[in-house]
Structure 1
Amino acid sequence: MESAAAGSSSAPIVDRKAIGTVLFMALFLFSWISLTPFYDLTGEAVLDPSAGNSNRLNQIVFLLLFGCMLVYGVMHPMRRMILQPRILLATIFLWFLFVSVMSAHSSNSIKSVILAVMMIVNASIYLMLPASEKHFAKMLAIGSLAALGLSYYGIFMLPQFSIHQAAELREPMNVGLWRGHFPHKNSAAAAMVLMSFFGLFVMRAWSRIIGAVIFALAAFFLMQTGGKTSTAMLPLILVLAFIVERFPVLRIPVVVGGVAAFNLFAVGSSVYRPFGEFVASLGIDATFTNRADVWRFAFAAIAEHPFTGYGFRSFWQTEELLYSGGQVETWAVAAANGHNSFVDILLATGIPGLVLTIFWIIFMPLRDISRIDAKQASPNLTRFFLRVWLYGLFHAGLESLFYEGGNVLWFTFVVGLYGFRFQSTATLVGREAAGRATAT
């Protein structure tokens, strides 16, 4: 970060830092808070598939942020890192465009592909904005406290929009569970896990007190969301990240084997009855909160188009599906998504799309991690990116997040992928500054 900026004579380093700070905070707050926080889940619009969550102002602000980020990135000495690995990503998105053009909703599918590309461009530039590790930690702390403060404000001042109510039309059974300014308890739970990781990083890279406050606020909020999976994953990911960091020989078994086993354990129990009976015998809900119905329905659909899929955003919540009369057979036709990122990518883009995605998000990071030199790269940053990456991979087994343009977990996950790429070529700078470690 700092050394890259110093290598450019186009602008003083203080100007680059100021601009980077403004862009970092603007994109962070837009992603984590948005222009329209707090969602009303009691209106009939939540049941209307044609009612989008976006509006023209959101679109304009996003385009402005994307334009500013792109200009900053192109003028940055490390602009070659934008949208890397380019050959792989070009292959992925060309395939996505191909299957989307063939879909029944090609216009919406193509728009979704373009939005996904723009989000990844933003993520690839995001780590160029901080001037140092400490600067990065400070901005994360400020943004985290702002998002947490807004969520807690909602709990005490706007409970009807921050706590699930019995009057909600889609899932009234969630009554009493916290969601803050997020649209659902599950999205709030995932956000709080990430905030916990932010707090731990801030403790090590900048301020132990502020970091501890962020961690405590996020962890307490997480427990109030009722998100059992995310709550259980928080300590689990901390342990797995420690193992992956300290024991290189176990990286492939933990990551590849762990993700495969988790998806087999979850999705497999819905597809193979004997396996489902075995899971149930362990005292575990083999339906994974009724997700099993969605997965069985999804696999039946995948069997009809295994190679090309149905196109980006061209299956769930489409009018053909919702008004097909299939509710008599299964409620899954009304599901918002497949509740599994790997299943959804297979459903949308077929086998090629799934294989390419797995190569990008699992095997490429494993390669980058193996190239990280502990003596040259910042261990605090590496540990932080590991936690975000592992949580995203395992969380994907129960929720949909891959290529979701407006999903803050997906955005942070992709930032982690680029964090590994930066760390694999990192060099510590400022050694004379009392041991302060910053990475290129």
Structure 2
Amino acid sequence: MAQAPTTYGQLSSGFGYGGTERLSTSSPLIRLIIVILCFAGLSLILISLRPFQAQSIVAEIPDSGDQLKQVGFLAAGLVFGLALLTMADPRRIRSLMTPSFALLGGLIAFEMLRAPDGMATVRALILTVIGMMMTLALIILPRTERDFRSALALAAIALMAVSYAGIILLPDLAIHGYDAYEPQHAGLWRGPFSHKNAAGPVMSVITIFGIYMFRSGMRFSGLVVALAAFVFVLKTGSKTTSGFLPLSILIIGLAAATGKTWIAILVHVVAFSAAAVLTLGAAFDKGIFSLVRSLLGDGTYTGRTTLWEFNASMVPNHLWFGYGYDNFWLKPPVLSLDEPFWAAWDYRYIIHGHENFLDILNNLGVVGGSIVFWVLFIGPLFNYAKARKIPNNRKLADMFATIIVFLTLMSLLETFFLRRVDPIWAMHSLAVFGLHITARFDLGGIHRRRRKGRRVAQA
């Protein structure tokens, strides 16, 4: 006889812990503490400890990093680490013991050992691990989907309130002014984020949050969050972000509309392939460049093609293992080069290459890059297909999958993989862990148990 999916606290594959009593009998106080903790953690990731800190796309980051962020997130890491040890179900944590996550952990350890600048790399990787642990806790700690949704909604509302308050009260910081490197961005919104290229993707994810809230019964607040966030996306002036967001929503909407998850995944693969041709192809093919220029008015994607050409030319020099985690841009392999007077940008002082996949290859090589590609972009699609087989998980899985699809497309224009506690990377990490859990646990089963228990008690 086939085994039915089990409850929120029990693995759907049949090797979860023995029942739901631990979760279903959690005291209201514990549940409230977890909701507040998750709300605080997600708000910290989205708003950061230094909101409204303007930054050019071309800037040097001190090797010592931001000490306030380092201390603050280290403290947050300790709090969430303790919460995972004391309040999380160990079976859920043990569900993470998969070959792909083990390889990713091994890759992180390997990069620490091989780093030419050990302390800087270790600091960066520790922040990255803390960010991943916090997003993992946001998925694992809530006792019910309703608790998770409450924390998510509160954090989304808080971010939108801070962002619009900044536009009204701190326009000099929340809106791009004149920048010698980027004069074309004057007047575009960035809110509490350092740059519009961060604001656009994060606000797109908040739009996806709002859609999930609306679908899950939070009609008014979900609609307000989704509309406010989407307006903010438009005000960032990013044509690609504004285009990729509706496309991502449409792609995952196909799964709900047709009931066939494989159709959504197939369309995603086709859309990503087409987008890759139109973005990276513009850097290497004159015909594609001309086509993009006729469509968008700029075939260089605001000078990115210069970075992509240079980035691709450097990959063969360290093909298998790359230059090391975070050891390519703003490091000797690039800084020691002569100034490229012919290029649209002086790539020696670019923070990153604005292309996730090329940056992954240059930093980690083919070996490390293959692991990251699987964990971040391919594996989640398999988990999505599994998660949609559990009826109670479909809305939540759709939300996480939409984030994955959107950020996979955005990876063609931005770099955020394993980037400390960068909010874009944190949202991708949240979706990866979310699909892992929704593929293995029935998140709505606990509600069925409670209703059944009340009916039995009344009888």
Q: Mark yes or no: TM-score above 0.5.
A: yes
Residue 304, structure 1, aligned to residue 321, structure 2? no
**1:104–1:375 distance in 2 versus 1, CA, 3 Å:** closer
> Is 2:158 the partner of 1:146?
yes
Q: What is the distance in 1 between the residues matched to 2:319 and 2:336? A: 24
Structure 2 length as normaliser, TM-score? 0.85
Match of 1:36 in 2: 50
**Residue of structure 1 equivalent to 2:69:** 58
Deviations 1:379-438 (A, max 9, x none): 221221121111111111110011112211221222112222222223322227779xxx
Question: Quick one: which of 181, 189, 194 aligns to 1:183?
Answer: 194
Give the unaligned 5+ runs of structure 2: 1-6, 11-18, 453-459
Kept after mapping to 2: 8 A contact 1:138/1:206: no
Cα distance per residue 1:257-277 (max 9 Å; x no partner): 433442233113213445445
> Which of residues 81, 87, 110 is equivalent to 1:70?
81
Match of 1:371 among 386, 394, 402: 386
Structure 1, unmatched stretches of 5+, are 436-440
Do structure 1's residue 7 and structure 2's residue 21 form an aligned pair? yes
Alignment of 1:404-423 (within 5 A): 404-423=419-438
CA contact (8 A) 1:116 1:405 kept: yes
Whole-Å separation in 2 of the counterparts to 1:283 and 1:145: 33
Residue 137 of structure 2 corresponds to residue 120 of structure 1: no
Deviation at 1:341, TM superposition (A): 0.8
Where do residues 244-393 of structure 1 align in structure 2 (5 Å cutoff)?
244-245=255-256, 246-277=259-290, 279-280=292-293, 285-318=298-331, 321-322=334-335, 324-330=337-343, 331-372=346-387, 374-393=389-408
The whole-number CA distance in structure 2 between the counterparts of 1:328 and 1:97 is 39
Q: Answer yes or no: is 1:108 the counterpart of 2:108.
A: no
**CA separation of 1:221 and 1:348: change in aligned 2, threshold 3 A:** same
SS in 2 for 1:429: helix
User: Aligned partners of 2:385 and 2:86: how far apart in 1?
Assistant: 30
State how far apart, in whole Å, the 1-side matches of 2:402 and 2:24 are.
Answer: 36
Q: Residue 357 of structure 2 contacts residue 411 of structure 2 at CA under 8 Å; is this kept in 1?
A: yes
Is the alpha carbon distance of 1:99 and 1:430 closer, same or farther for their aligned partners in structure 2, counting shifts above 3 Å?
closer
Is the alpha carbon distance of 1:10 and 1:258 closer, same or farther for their aligned partners in structure 2, counting shifts above 3 Å? Answer: closer
CA drift at 1:18: 2.5
1:349 Cα deviation after fit: 0.3
Q: CA deviation at 1:119?
A: 2.1
Opposite residue 174 of structure 2, the aligned amino acid is S
Q: Quote the residue 1:438 is aligned against.
A: none
Match of 1:162 among 157, 174, 194: 174
Specify the SS of the correspondent of 1:37: coil
Alpha-carbon distance in 2 for matches of 1:359, 1:121 = 19
TM-fit CA distance, 1:135: 2.5
| Matched-pair identity in % | 24
Match of residue 16, structure 1, among 23, 30, 43: 30
Pairwise CA RMSD: 2.9
User: Is the 8 Å Cα contact of residues 99 and 310 (structure 1) preserved in structure 2?
Assistant: no
CA contact (8 A) 2:58 2:349 kept: no
What is the CA-CA distance between 1:58 and the residue it aligns to?
Answer: 2.3
Counterpart of 2:40 (choices 2, 18, 26) is 26
1:312-335 Cα deviation digits (max 9, x unpaired): 111112366346432334322222
Which of 101, 105, 110 matches 1:98?
Answer: 110
**SS of the counterpart of 1:108?**
helix
CA displacement 1:136-173 (0-9 Å, x = unmatched): 2222222112111111111111111111111x343232
Alpha carbons 1:154, 1:161 under 8 Å: kept:
yes
Distance in 2 separating the partners of 1:58 and 1:91:
28
Q: Are the aligned partners of 2:24 and 2:450 in contact in 1 as well (CA < 8 Å)?
A: no
Tell me how far apart the structure 2 counterparts of residues 68 and 424 of structure 1 sit (CA, whole Å): 27
Question: Are residues 1:226 and 2:243 paired?
Answer: no
Deviation string 1:279-309 (CA, Å, 9 cap, x unpaired) is 4566663322211100011111112111111
- 1:93–1:113 CA contact under 8 A, matched in 2: no
CA contact (8 A) 1:7 1:77 kept: no
- The answer for the alignment partner of 1:204 in structure 2 is 215
* Aligned residue type for 1:162: A
* Shift of residue 234, structure 1, vs aligned partner: 1.8
After TM superposition, the score normalised by the length of structure 1 is: 0.88
Q: Identify if the C-alpha distance between structure 1 residues 48 and 335 changes in structure 2 by more than 3 Å, giving closer, same or farther.
A: closer
SS at match of 1:354: helix
3-state SS in 1 of match to 2:318: coil
User: Matches of 1:410 and 1:138 in 2, distance apart?
Assistant: 22
Matched residue of 2:62: which SS?
A: coil
Distance 1:401 1:46 in 2: 16
Higher mean C-alpha displacement, 87-96 vs 143-152: 87-96
How many aligned residue pairs are there? 431
Aligned residues of 2:70 and 2:127 also touching (Cα < 8 A): no
**Which residue of 424, 429, 433 corresponds with 2:446?**
429
In the alignment, the residues of structure 1 paired with residue 370 and residue 439 of structure 2 have an alpha-carbon distance, to the nearest angstrom, of 24
Which amino acid letter does the alignment assign opposite residue 37 of structure 1? P
In structure 1, distance between residues paired with 2:150 and 2:114:
46
Q: 1:77 to 1:307 in 2, by over 3 A?
A: same
Once the two structures are overlaid, the 10-residue window that deviates more, 317-326 or 393-402, is: 317-326
Bigger shift: residues 77-86 or 63-72: 77-86
1:344 shift after superposition:
0.8
Rounded to whole Å, the distance in 2 between the matches of 1:75 and 1:61 is 21
- Tell me: CA distance 1:201–1:15, structure 2 relative to 1, closer, same or farther (3 Å): same
Summarize deviations over 1:66-114 as a string: whole Å, max 9, x none.
1221222223453343382443233234334435544443432233233
Residues 46/372 of structure 1: CA separation in 2 closer, same or farther (3 Å cut): closer
Aligned match of 1:79 in 77, 82, 90?
A: 90
Instruction: Give the distance between the partners of 1:373 and 1:282, measured in 2 at CA.
Output: 36
Q: Tell me which moved more, 371-380 or 358-367.
A: 371-380
